[in-house]
Amino acid sequence: MMRFRNVISVFVVLVTAVLLLGYVAFLQPEADTSRAKPDSTRNDRAIFAGGCFWGLQAAFDELPGVVRTRAGYTGGHSSNPNYEDVVTGQTGHAEAVEVTFDPGQISYEQLVRYFFAHHRYESNEPDSKYQMRPYRSEIFVHDASQRATAEKIIAELSAHVANGRHVTTLIGDAGRFWEAEVYHQKYLAQCGR
């Protein structure tokens, strides 16, 4: 009988402990996980063309606040372009990187400034030859706010360009973005760079 009472006593103590721990856990506020994983409803997009998309994608992938990048083609006149067609210059597309970002962590202006710090944006080449090149520098904007930001930064840069050179970066409206072939995605990371 004594042994039975000891077992019941231990059982009661364990049940009480479990209930007490559950109650304490219930009183604790939930952990804030919003910083660990960006809220997808707040994400925004930016599209940048600045030469070969491999290096530009790798640069943006390292930036805090960037949720996702995709290498692809945009700004052209044909549907479903592929690399072989785009590099001929006949489709009008630019190699570009679509950047999905959390504006709570990084602003569009910061992205544009980062873009200019990571590619060659000035030239002495006439604009008419440059506009259709697949490796041109261009910002594809989604709205008036993005356009105003891009125009402001280009004006700042233009004030400091010398030696007969000028900022060749174009600003175009964002249209359909065609994702590039799988082997182009995160290419430099695949090569260990």
State the catalytic residues: 52
Distances (CA, A) of 69 to 9, 58, 105, 112: 60, 9, 16, 15
Residues near 102 by beta carbon (within 8 Å), at least 6 away in sequence: 38, 39, 42, 43, 44, 65, 67
Give the chain's radius of gyration (CA, Å): 27
Cβ partners under 8 Å of residue 97, min gap 6 = 47, 48, 49, 50, 53, 56, 57, 60, 69, 70, 71, 72
First-to-last C-alpha distance (Å) of the chain: 73
